[in-house]
Amino acid sequence: MTGMGAYRVLNQGILVESDIPGLYAGWKTGKIFGTLDCRSGVRMKKENRVFFLCLEDAVSQGYRPCKVCKPLDGVLFQKIRLLVPQYGTLEEFYERDCDMR
């Protein structure tokens, strides 16, 4: 399927049509992102879903990684670390919402 833009994804903060679904899915309401096959993600309402072409798009839009599917490992965290300098470790990034309560 080329040229039809069957998917709507966030790319650098802008919602665009894409031929590919993206690598990550996010929950708009809670600002959480995970893998496309995350068991928590597949239960969310479709109107609350957003898709990202890359990890950097999800993180730069303020989404934190899902604690269920854990889409980030240490290597990926190092890749995006400059986008979230307030978190010194991957564990702190996963626990971001605990600080907001």
> 75-91: per-residue pLDDT in tens?
999 999 999 999 989 99
- Between CA 6 and CA 28 the distance in angstroms is 20
Mean pLDDT, rounded, of the chain: 85
> 14-39: per-residue pLDDT in tens?
888 888 888 999 998 899 999 989 98
Report whether CATH 3.40.10.10 matches the domain 7-100: yes
Which tokens in the block code for residue 81? 């670390």
| Residue 73 in this model has a pLDDT that exceeds 90 | yes
Q: Is the dihedral of CA 74, 76, 77, 81 positive or negative?
A: positive
- Between CA 47 and CA 15 the distance in angstroms is 14
Residue 40 in contact with residue 63, Cβ under 8 Å? no
C-alpha 32: how far from chain center: 6
Domain boundaries, the chain: 7-100
